[in-house]
Structure 1
Amino acid sequence: MRGPGSDVILERMMSLHPKVIDLTLDRVEALLAALDHPERRLPPVIHIAGTNGKGSTQAMIRAGLEAAGRRVHAYTSPHLARFHERIRLAGDLISEDALTRVLDECYRANDGAEITYFEITTCAAFLAFARTPADYTLLETGLGGRLDATNVIDRPALTIVTPVSMDHESYLGNTLSAIAGEKAGILKRGVPCIVGPQTAEALDVIEARAARLSAPLLVHGQHWHVFEERGRLVYEDETGLLDLDLPNLPGPHQIQNAGMALAALRHLEMPEPAFDGAVRNADWPGRLQHLRGTSLNALAPGADLWLDGGHNPAAGCALAAHLHRLPQRPTHLVCGMLNTKDVRGYLTPLADVAESLTAISIPGEQNTLGAEETAAAARGVGMAAHTAESVEAAIERIGCEVPSARILICGSLYLAGHVLRIIG
């Protein structure tokens, strides 16, 4: 007789969630011990923390390693349309059967103890990774770094800290130094760390921790450089120069993400195909994704439709920079955000490039910011703002009023996931 599917087990896991989330590794370590420590049997780990660019950087490293013939596990969060997206086994998304088995095993081993959803599902990923042969494991932190559930690997092969900016202040601290300290918590004694572009304040914290741990740093602007020149990506470090295609992931911020990926691949001494593969083959849905030929495009046939899940001020700046570089076209936003985010900080850079914002509440999301509140925040930074009952209604109205519009759906990964489920 077939047991419950992954959705049922995931729902059960939600009931184990502590009333108050205290960031600690105690619950994870207890469950991993009950599972006979799968985290100690993983292929070499590349551990990635930071505020922005973690997912794109991971996607490029994975594309590069796979282009070099390596088999790669990858763990990321949150998922967009299906939970299975979080766990990739030796190149493929985990199957329903495999996911159900490891979730059920973790649920039983946890034996009813309090544990967060992210913690128990991270343990399930480790269990799946430990049982499937591969050459590398890519781990992306969920929140912070020092006390993140992924931070139980004693000696990774490499760590990476992507750009640090303000986000999740209620958990990580309300200064850049405090947040950088949490992100730098993934550094391990003697293990090299790739450091992406940072403010001086964040870099000081990362360098201080690295010095205490004798962890060699490979820092953007010091040990490696990356830039766009004449429509090409140029990467340079002490071993020489790479002249590559621009990243296939759109947006000028992907130059720096590619730089971090290339620095990692160079450190791992990958062959030449890895570098081309990293910039040409990476796939990362919901991040500046150009939508074509979907049911949503049919609602506004003359419009140019985009989707992005960025949700903090740095993401707003990156999005604005990308929109500035696109061919001239009236840009209108369809935006839904969580009530835990800095809405005004996110929208301020977008006010210079968008003619209007239509706010929606994120369907099915308990922590959504109400459409009226999002619209009010938009007006507060100088945008014309409206509300709509749904993404579809917003797109249809904009398409009718401005047939040639560029429509960007934005503000949250949860909204991006909702859109991807709509379009199948």
Structure 2
Amino acid sequence: MKEVIRSADPRIAALIARQARQYVDRDQLGLERITALLDRLGRPQDRLPPVFHVAGTNGKGSTCAFLRAALEAAGKRVHAFTSPHLVRYNERIRIAGRLIDDGQLAELMGQVLDANEDIGGSLFEVNTAAAFCAFSEAPADACILEVGLGGRLDATNVIEHPLVTGIASLGLDHQAFLGNRLVDVAYEKAGIAKRGVPLVTQRYPTALAERVAQVARAAGAIWEPKGLHWDAISRSGQLRYYDEAGQLFLPLPRLPGRHQSMNAALAVAMLRHQDTIDIPASAFSAAMGWANWPARLQQLHSGPLIEMLPRGSELWIDGGHNPSASRLIAAHARRNWTDKRPLVLLYASLASKDAATVLQPFRGVASQILTLPIEGHEYRDPSDLAAMAAKMGFVSSAKRSISDALIALRKPARVLVFGSLYLAGEALSLNGSLPD
């Protein structure tokens, strides 16, 4: 599948254009191209430090952030490959704790594209190969890999012997590739299971749990769902975690949203279900405050966009783009945004998304919806979105840009940019709030 990639570096921009000429759009997932590409590059995936592999519909990125924070709090050097990026491609590849620089990125992409010439791998496959090459050449104690899409056929799933695998929440998204039934989604996500390797997951409804268990058994994995040998609960201002090795009483995560406690608990469980890397209890506590994952209920406190708003307003950014994410964010708004400040949604949707289902949880929560385009992508027409929202009972109107929407507000409001990670990235870029 095609992605949009941004870089101000002319070397990388030229490499991106070269990749676009190579790409063969088969519109399907599979491991054949990435396997052939990595074979030509000398199988760098076989020379990685211990791998934590994370899948999920929502929450996998936050889980990766908590994993990295705990490992680094324990003094470990950590590689991380996550996606998509918000503003700069470099955000996807973190080498021993630092974002890859443009010079190294350009050199690696050139090497990968030389090998990709007649393979026609997708941009994500090229990205994955570049990350593996970078990680194989730099010493580190651990490597965190976030699944791009699905799991079973995702390019990251060429890792044959991860240390631990994990699955965050399950929900409908990318139905064209993962199916229209949650049991199908569960099957695809559980495809990262490996023989003899712990598969640590959240607690799921019975039908989904049975599907995950079936896949784990077939793979020979050790399934460790929440509620069996480990559990966690957020209570009295603490995250209380329990497993067979004992219990931890941790501070609540700094990342806002009740769901982040469960993402943090999944990361703790993944780390506690391996015995290769020692993580002291103090590192788990530190991770609750250290973990940072931009555009997930992120509040902006200063910058050009803030200055466009009426005095007394707030600006929040969230990249949620599916019904599961919107239910979580709407629930957070009901519980925590209880003052009289109206909630205004700046909303955009890719053409492939079910916008009505995404907006439905905000009924009775959002006082107004301002719809926007997503430049550089196939998006739902803002006028059509506004008309649809109006039929659902929202006060809505279409705007040309984020700036136009903010300038149109006349009274103090709590503004939430929502509906697309691409839109979230645009907002962060406009405000000068670049992820680091």
TM over 0.5, yes or no?
Answer: yes
Q: Residues of 1 paired with 2:17 and 2:241: CA distance?
A: 45
Partner of 1:418: 426
Deviations 1:90-144 (A, max 9, x none): 0000011111111000011222431111111110110001001101110011111
Partner of 1:76: 82
Q: Residues of 2 paired with 1:212 and 1:191: CA distance?
A: 13
The answer to whether structure 1 residue 370 and structure 2 residue 381 are counterparts is: yes
The answer to whether structure 1 residue 150 and structure 2 residue 156 are counterparts is: yes
Q: Residues of 1 paired with 2:65 and 2:126: CA distance?
A: 24
Task: Tell me the SS of whatever aligns to 1:352.
Answer: coil
Task: Tell me the CA shift for residue 46 of structure 1.
Answer: 0.7
Contact 1:265/1:275 (<8 A) preserved: no
Partner of 2:319: 309
Task: Tell me the CA shift for residue 173 of structure 1.
Answer: 1.1
Partner of 1:331: 343
Contact 1:5/1:100 (<8 A) preserved: yes
Q: Residues of 1 paired with 2:388 and 2:51: CA distance?
A: 41
TM-score, with normalisation over the residues of structure 2?
A: 0.93
Partner of 1:406: 414
Partner of 2:4: none
Q: Please, which of 291, 296, 319 is the counterpart of residue 305 of structure 2?
A: 296
Partner of 1:322: 332
**Which residues in structure 2 correspond to 1:9-408 (within 5 Å)?**
9-268=15-274, 269-300=278-309, 301-324=311-334, 325-328=336-339, 329-365=341-377, 367-398=378-409, 400=410, 402-403=411-412, 405-408=413-416
Q: Percent identity?
A: 43
Q: Residues of 1 paired with 2:270 and 2:240: CA distance?
A: 15
Task: Tell me the CA shift for residue 26 of structure 1.
Answer: 0.8
Q: Which runs of 5+ in 2 are unaligned?
A: 1-8
Task: Tell me the CA shift for residue 370 of structure 1.
Answer: 1.0
Q: Residues of 1 paired with 2:392 and 2:232: CA distance?
A: 33
In structure 1, give the amino acid aligned to 2:291: A
Task: Tell me the CA shift for residue 33 of structure 1.
Answer: 0.6
Task: Tell me the CA shift for residue 376 of structure 1.
Answer: 2.7
CA separation of 1:222 and 1:380: change in aligned 2, threshold 3 A: farther
Q: Residues of 1 paired with 2:248 and 2:337: CA distance?
A: 26
In structure 2, give the amino acid aligned to 1:347: L
Provide the aligned C-alpha RMSD in A: 1.4
In structure 2, give the amino acid aligned to 1:422: L
Q: How many residues align?
A: 418
Q: Residues of 2 paired with 1:121 and 1:323: CA distance?
A: 36
Q: Residues of 2 paired with 1:75 and 1:353: CA distance?
A: 35
Task: Tell me the SS of whatever aligns to 1:156.
Answer: coil
Task: Tell me the CA shift for residue 145 of structure 1.
Answer: 0.6
Q: Which runs of 5+ in 1 are unaligned?
A: none
Q: Residues of 1 paired with 2:89 and 2:55: CA distance?
A: 21
Contact 1:363/1:418 (<8 A) preserved: no
Contact 1:70/1:135 (<8 A) preserved: yes
Q: Residues of 2 paired with 1:201 and 1:346: CA distance?
A: 24
Q: Residues of 2 paired with 1:123 and 1:360: CA distance?
A: 34
Task: Tell me the SS of whatever aligns to 2:234.
Answer: strand
Q: Residues of 1 paired with 2:119 and 2:225: CA distance?
A: 41
In structure 2, give the amino acid aligned to 1:372: S
Range 195-204 or range 155-164, more displaced? 195-204
Q: Residues of 2 paired with 1:259 and 1:357: CA distance?
A: 34
Contact 1:265/1:274 (<8 A) preserved: no
Contact 2:36/2:119 (<8 A) preserved: no
In structure 2, give the amino acid aligned to 1:406: R
Task: Tell me the SS of whatever aligns to 1:133.
Answer: coil
Q: Residues of 2 paired with 1:186 and 1:377: CA distance?
A: 38
Range 299-308 or range 83-92, more displaced? 299-308
Contact 1:197/1:256 (<8 A) preserved: no
Deviations 1:305-324 (A, max 9, x none): 10000100000011111111
Task: Tell me the CA shift for residue 418 of structure 1.
Answer: 0.7
Contact 2:386/2:398 (<8 A) preserved: yes
Task: Tell me the CA shift for residue 148 of structure 1.
Answer: 0.5
Task: Tell me the SS of whatever aligns to 2:22.
Answer: coil
Range 345-354 or range 264-273, more displaced? 264-273
Q: Residues of 2 paired with 1:270 and 1:381: CA distance?
A: 49
Task: Tell me the CA shift for residue 4 of structure 1.
Answer: 5.9
In structure 1, give the amino acid aligned to 2:159: I
Q: Residues of 1 paired with 2:383 and 2:117: CA distance?
A: 43
Q: Residues of 1 paired with 2:35 and 2:190: CA distance?
A: 20
Range 380-389 or range 277-286, more displaced? 380-389
Task: Tell me the CA shift for residue 281 of structure 1.
Answer: 0.2
